Amino acid sequence: MDITLVRVDNRLIHGQILEAWLPFTHASCIVVVDDEVVGDFFRETVLRMAVPREVEVIVSGVQEFARDYTYSTGQGKKAIVLFSCIADACIAFKAGFKFTKLNLGNVHHDQGEGDKIRCSSCVFLDSNDVECVLSLIDTAGVHVELLRIPQEEPVNALDIMPKSLCHRCR
C-alpha cells in the first residue's frame, strides 16, 4: 500500500477528505484506524456510505492496524490513513506503523474536556497531545504539520506548539 497521507482528524471521513484530499493524493483507499468505529456496525456503515464506490474503505483497530500494515510509499494502491486522535497515531507508531509525516487536520475541543489550547482554527491540544507530538518529533524525526486542506500553507507543529502544556518545555 502506498501511504500518501497519515492524518489526525476527529471527524474521520468527511467533506475535506472526499473533496480535497482524495483528489490531491489520488488515493483509491481510505483506512480508518479507530477502536470505537471498528466495533460499531452503524458508524462503520455510515462512513462507508459517504465514500464513492471506487474508493476502498478499510476500518481497523489501532493495534490490529499497526500489526498488519507497514508504512510504505511508491508501491501498491494509494491510501489515506485516518486517526481520530493524536494518541491513537502515537500508539500505532510505537506498535510498528512507522510513518515519517503526520498531518493534524482537526483535533476538536469539547466542553468539559479539560484544558486545551487553540493552536489553529481547528487544532486544540492538551498536555498529552503535546507530549505525543513531541515524542514523535524528538525520538523518531516525524514531521508534524497542521494543514486542513492541501491548498493551504502547512504550519510546522514545532512553530506553534503550546510550550505551557509541555512538561519538558517549562
Cα-based angle 75, 79, 85 (whole degrees, multiple of 5): 135
Mean pLDDT of the chain: 87
pTM equals: 0.89
Query: Is residue 47 domain-resident?
Result: yes
pLDDT at 170 over 60: no
Q: For 150-162, write each residue's pLDDT tens digit.
A: 999 998 988 877 5
Per-residue three-class SS string for 94-162: HCCCCCCEEEEEEECCCCCCCCCEECCCCEEECHHHHHHHHHHHHHHCCEEEECCCCCCCCEEHHHHCC
Mean pLDDT within 95-116: 80
Query: Is residue 170 domain-resident?
Result: no
Choose between 140 and 59: higher pLDDT. 59
Share of the chain above pLDDT 70, in %: 90
pLDDT at 169 over 50: no
Query: Is residue 38 domain-resident?
Result: yes
Query: Is residue 12 domain-resident?
Result: yes
Q: For 4-40, write each residue's pLDDT tens digit.
A: 999 999 999 999 999 999 999 999 999 999 999 998 9
Query: Is residue 49 domain-resident?
Result: yes
Share of the chain above pLDDT 90, in %: 62
pLDDT at 165 over 60: no
CATH number of residue 148's parent domain: 3.40.35.10
Query: Is residue 53 domain-resident?
Result: yes
Number of domains in the chain: 1
Query: Is residue 68 domain-resident?
Result: yes
Q: What is the pLDDT of residue 36?
A: 93
Domain that holds residue 80: 2-165
Query: Is residue 76 domain-resident?
Result: yes
Q: How far apart are CA 62 and CA 36, in angstroms?
A: 10
pLDDT at 144 over 90: yes
Q: What is the pLDDT of residue 13?
A: 94
